A and B are shown apart, each in its own frame.
Chain A
Amino acid sequence: MIPTIFTNARLIDPEKGTDTIGTLAIKDGVIAGPQGLDGATQIDCDGKCLAPGIVDIGVKVSEPGERHKESFRTAGLAAAAGGVTTIVTRPDTLPAIDTPEVLEFVRRRANEAAPVNVLPMAALTRGREGREMAEIGFLLDAGAVAFTDCDRVTENPKVFSRCMTYAAALGALVVAHPQEPTLSAGAAATSGKFAALKGIPAVSPLAERMGLDRDIAIVEMTGGRYHADQITTARAVVRLQRAKEAGLDVTAGVSIHHLTLNELDVGDYRTFFKVKPPLRSEDDRLAVAEAVATGVIDVISSMHTPQDEESKRLPFEEAASGAIGLETLLPASMRLYHAGQIDLPGLWRALSLNPAKRLGLSSGRLAPEAPADLVLFDPDAPFVMNRFKLQSKSKNTPFDEARMEGRVLDTWVAGERINVAPISDV
């Protein structure tokens, strides 16, 4: 492979916390360093940003079961177009990815079809039903990078604590959805003035804190490795911080939608804004953005959840939850940067470095020997989002027709340039 050297690049290094103009060379699929290399192809970045590719924890690819919503091919293309070089997939498929055999199928499909790195998570319990443990050991051997029942909470604390204990012994990471499940049953919005006026069944934002409190107690009890998929409320942030200060092995993520949208965006029952947990108040949104900037919340994810038109074109209560996000993650994140809430190295700590570290990957950084997974982007380029130009099979984005700033220009995975017309090239 011919080495490549990026010159005149604005290098975003989340590890060093720097944002400087410089040079970066890559060779044999890994980063070589800032020095020039003989015979290298030169790419003049024209002062645009070069950062580690995004590592996105919690992407739903609808294989097996619902390939009409998203396949590994389309998810991979969407990821590349959005500067996401590693997708960490969710097991909430049909059937759930809860046996080594299904996991094997997923890995084979992913390798054939997706142009980016795909790392699968597996179900924590069989069928994600919260009753019997999945074969955590076998699944780990087969390549599962973490265990999760996704948005289903393991209601029975005895079952959850045993899963945590077993996973802890194997050093496996458990990703959970902090939420009090009986309190939030049937809810489609966050309780408050807006949801009550619109007559949408709603749940108190405190249900998230209650769920997190229980999970933290079980982490304390079992010594397990725990990652909360989404922390979206100010009150849960406080508990998360306390658990970290107590030395527990706890990390947390947040979806880009909860960082950039609030409950009022639902407006007159716009179902593309129905996500799980529901969008929160503006106060909560600001608190969560602050928690990302200070590092209390470790990871930003797209929580990419493809839904076809039929599952969304329904009365709000009946419509499916979830929004796609692979291609809009980077431009939407730029809203936080442009609002002055976080700098670019800080943003990339949450988008690439922290998720990679949490999963034990060597990517997510610009250091020598790290994989040459890179994204080149223009943080200031404006465009108007058109959902029909997205690579994803499903078009359920809440950013349709939104004015955005920040275009992905190019993506490299293990030193290979991925030729996908990014969304912003419209």
Chain B
Amino acid sequence: MSFRARHLLGIEHLAPDEITTLLDLADTYVDLNRRDVKHDTALTGLTQINMFFENSTRTQASFEIAGKRLGADVMNMNMQASSTKKGETLVDTALTLNAMHPDLLVVRHPNSGAVNLLAQKVNCAVLNAGDGRHEHPTQALLDALTIRRAKGRLHRLTVAICGDISHSRVARSNIHLLGKMENRIRLVGPPTLMPSGAAEWGVEVCNTMEEGLKDADVVMMLRLQKERMDGAFIPSEREYYHRYGLDAKKLSHAKGDAIVMHPGPMNRGVEIDSTIADDINRSVIQDQVEMGVAVRMAAMNLLARNLHSKHEDNGVMV
């Protein structure tokens, strides 16, 4: 049992054994979540604040359910309509919240690195629920759990990550995680949505789906933001669908038992064809949502344990 991190700010600084510890615990929560009475007391008496500076329905709901199932007192703060609009800086907001003694702070912010900055100013454990185009660690962990359960392992797989890599924090966290677990990673997308320097990340960069999906075990599609569709990064939605949208023909290049993933919400008919998305033999998109709750329960539980051990050990190295 090893999980040493104080915050979950990204996958970059996690060790492979910490990832495995977290996924093992999450596995037990998957079972719990399927029972009639879905309750645990791991976080009883602790306060969890969800601070979302950027729109989110799914991730916020997932964190809220995860906290409640573990018995935490959960509060949601919609920061878009809040004091930041009155000119308060991020650091001041963090200090204000810190004074209320939360134990777990779940933060999403539109700027890369903003959650790191906030974590420096508070005493509680901070979970990054997505910062700019930097990281979205719980998404990568839930993807990993989904892959591990579907494929029976999380190493030596060929994973194709397809679409808007450039603006995707999901892609970055997945690249870190899948790389640490020793998988072969391919990035597939139009060159305008491929970050410069991607080829130096220890991944293969492909410009066509045929090349990228060849013999893949996992096909991970990314969401294409609406504002990137019209002429700025790609010529049009229909051309994108034609060249990069996942349909049966493109998927046929992958292994026969390849699974299809998507972090949601999906643009059907843009990055993924409906028949693929709904194909229960290939698509694990609904499983990803289920794993999301379990992974977040595990992450918060592990961070909460470190929160306590910090006080009990009183500075003694353990």
Residues on A facing B (Cβ under 8 Å): 191-200, 202, 204, 268-269, 310, 313-318
Complex partner residue of B132 from A199, A202, A268, CB under 8 angstroms: A199
Complex partner residue of B90 from A191, A193, A314, CB under 8 angstroms: A314
Q: In this assembly, does B116 line the interface, its C-beta being within 8 Å of a C-beta of chain A?
A: yes
Task: List the A side residues contacting B71 at CB < 8 Å.
Answer: none
- A198-B113 contact in complex given A191-B196, A193-B200, C-beta closer than 8 Å: yes
Chain B residue nearest to A313 in the complex (CB): B91
Q: Name the 3 nearest CB pairs between A and B, nearest first.
A: A269-B113, A315-B111, A199-B133
- A269-B89 contact in complex given A193-B201, A196-B195, C-beta closer than 8 Å: no
Establish whether residues A200 and B91, one from each chain, have CB atoms under 8 Å apart when the complex forms. no
Per the 8 Å Cβ criterion, residues 59-114 of B in contact with A are 89-91, 109, 111-114
Min CB distance A195 to B, Å, is 7
Chain A residue nearest to B134 in the complex (CB): A199
- A315-B196 contact in complex given A199-B132, A199-B133, A269-B117, C-beta closer than 8 Å: no
Task: List the A side residues contacting B132 at CB < 8 Å.
Answer: 199, 315, 317
Chain B residue nearest to A188 in the complex (CB): B112
Q: How far is the CA of A245 from the CA of B21 in the complex (A)?
A: 63
Q: Could you show 29 A-B contacts with beta carbons less than 8 Å apart? A: A191-B195, A191-B196, A193-B197, A193-B200, A193-B201, A195-B197, A196-B166, A196-B201, A198-B112, A198-B134, A199-B131, A199-B135, A199-B169, A202-B196, A204-B196, A269-B113, A310-B89, A313-B91, A313-B117, A314-B89, A314-B90, A314-B117, A315-B109, A315-B111, A315-B113, A315-B117, A315-B132, A316-B112, A318-B111
Task: List the B side residues contacting A316 at CB < 8 Å.
Answer: 111-113
Q: How far is the CA of A316 from the CA of B112 in the complex (A)?
A: 7
If A202-B196, A313-B117, A315-B113 are given as contacts, then 5 extra A-B residue pairs at C-beta distance below 8 Å, sorted by A number, are A193-B198, A193-B200, A197-B12, A199-B112, A313-B91
- A317-B196 contact in complex given A197-B201, A199-B132, A199-B169, C-beta closer than 8 Å: no
Task: List the B side residues contacting A269 at CB < 8 Å.
Answer: 112-113, 116-117
Scoring A269, A310, A315, A316 by chain B CB atoms within 10 A of each residue's CB, the highest score goes to A315
Q: In this assembly, does B172 line the interface, its C-beta being within 8 Å of a C-beta of chain A?
A: yes
Q: How far is the CA of A412 from the CA of B109 in the complex (A)?
A: 51
Q: How far is the CA of A196 from the CA of B112 in the complex (A)?
A: 11
- A268-B116 contact in complex given A199-B172, A315-B109, C-beta closer than 8 Å: yes
Q: How far is the CA of A233 from the CA of B90 in the complex (A)?
A: 34
Count residues of B near A (Cβ-Cβ below 8 Å): 25
Establish whether residues A191 and B197, one from each chain, have CB atoms under 8 Å apart when the complex forms. yes
Per the 8 Å Cβ criterion, residues 128-173 of B in contact with A are 131-135, 166, 169, 172
Q: How far is the CA of A196 from the CA of B203 in the complex (A)?
A: 14
Task: List the B side residues contacting A191 at CB < 8 Å.
Answer: 195-197
Q: How far is the CA of A200 from the CA of B133 in the complex (A)?
A: 7
Task: List the B side residues contacting A192 at CB < 8 Å.
Answer: 196-197, 200
Residues on B facing A (Cβ under 8 Å): 12, 89-91, 109, 111-114, 116-117, 131-135, 166, 169, 172, 195-198, 200-201
Min CB distance B24 to A, Å, is 28
Task: List the B side residues contacting A197 at CB < 8 Å.
Answer: 12, 172, 197, 201
Task: List the A side residues contacting B133 at CB < 8 Å.
Answer: 199
Q: How far is the CA of A315 from the CA of B93 in the complex (A)?
A: 13
Complex partner residue of A315 from B90, B166, B172, B197, CB under 8 angstroms: B90
Scoring B12, B114, B197 by chain A CB atoms within 10 A of each residue's CB, the highest score goes to B197
Q: How far is the CA of A194 from the CA of B172 in the complex (A)?
A: 12
Task: List the A side residues contacting B90 at CB < 8 Å.
Answer: 314-315
Min CB distance B239 to A, Å, is 24
Establish whether residues B201 and A315, one from each chain, have CB atoms under 8 Å apart when the complex forms. no
Min CB distance A320 to B, Å, is 13
Task: List the B side residues contacting A196 at CB < 8 Å.
Answer: 166, 195-198, 201
Q: How far is the CA of A317 from the CA of B135 in the complex (A)?
A: 15
Q: How far is the CA of A197 from the CA of B111 in the complex (A)?
A: 14
Task: List the B side residues contacting A313 at CB < 8 Å.
Answer: 89, 91, 117
Min CB distance B40 to A, Å, is 33
Q: How far is the CA of A1 from the CA of B181 in the complex (A)?
A: 75
Q: How far is the CA of A318 from the CA of B114 in the complex (A)?
A: 10
Task: List the B side residues contacting A317 at CB < 8 Å.
Answer: 111-113, 132
Min CB distance A59 to B, Å, is 28
Min CB distance A272 to B, Å, is 13
Chain A residue nearest to B176 in the complex (CB): A197
Q: How far is the CA of A310 from the CA of B12 in the complex (A)?
A: 28
Q: How far is the CA of A193 from the CA of B201 in the complex (A)?
A: 7
Complex partner residue of B113 from A194, A200, A202, A204, CB under 8 angstroms: A200
Scoring A192, A269, A313, A317 by chain B CB atoms within 10 A of each residue's CB, the highest score goes to A269
Min CB distance B38 to A, Å, is 35
Task: List the A side residues contacting B169 at CB < 8 Å.
Answer: 199
Min CB distance A170 to B, Å, is 43
Establish whether residues B197 and A200, one from each chain, have CB atoms under 8 Å apart when the complex forms. no
Q: How far is the CA of A332 from the CA of B169 in the complex (A)?
A: 36
Chain A residue nearest to B118 in the complex (CB): A315
Q: How far is the CA of A30 from the CA of B308 in the complex (A)?
A: 69
Q: How far is the CA of A191 from the CA of B200 in the complex (A)?
A: 12
Task: List the A side residues contacting B134 at CB < 8 Å.
Answer: 198-199
Task: List the A side residues contacting B112 at CB < 8 Å.
Answer: 198-200, 269, 315-317
Min CB distance B111 to A, Å, is 4
Q: How far is the CA of A310 from the CA of B90 in the complex (A)?
A: 11
Min CB distance A43 to B, Å, is 48
Scoring B12, B90, B112, B114 by chain A CB atoms within 10 A of each residue's CB, the highest score goes to B112
Task: List the A side residues contacting B195 at CB < 8 Å.
Answer: 191, 196
Q: How far is the CA of A200 from the CA of B132 in the complex (A)?
A: 8
Task: List the B side residues contacting A318 at CB < 8 Å.
Answer: 111
Min CB distance A397 to B, Å, is 19
Q: How far is the CA of A405 from the CA of B91 in the complex (A)?
A: 35
Establish whether residues B114 and A315, one from each chain, have CB atoms under 8 Å apart when the complex forms. yes
Q: How far is the CA of A194 from the CA of B12 in the complex (A)?
A: 13
Chain B residue nearest to A204 in the complex (CB): B196
Task: List the A side residues contacting B116 at CB < 8 Å.
Answer: 268-269
Min CB distance A184 to B, Å, is 14
Q: How far is the CA of A198 from the CA of B13 in the complex (A)?
A: 13
Task: List the B side residues contacting A314 at CB < 8 Å.
Answer: 89-91, 117
Task: List the A side residues contacting B166 at CB < 8 Å.
Answer: 196
Q: How far is the CA of A278 from the CA of B15 in the complex (A)?
A: 31
Q: How far is the CA of A6 from the CA of B196 in the complex (A)?
A: 55
Chain B residue nearest to A189 in the complex (CB): B112
Min CB distance A205 to B, Å, is 10
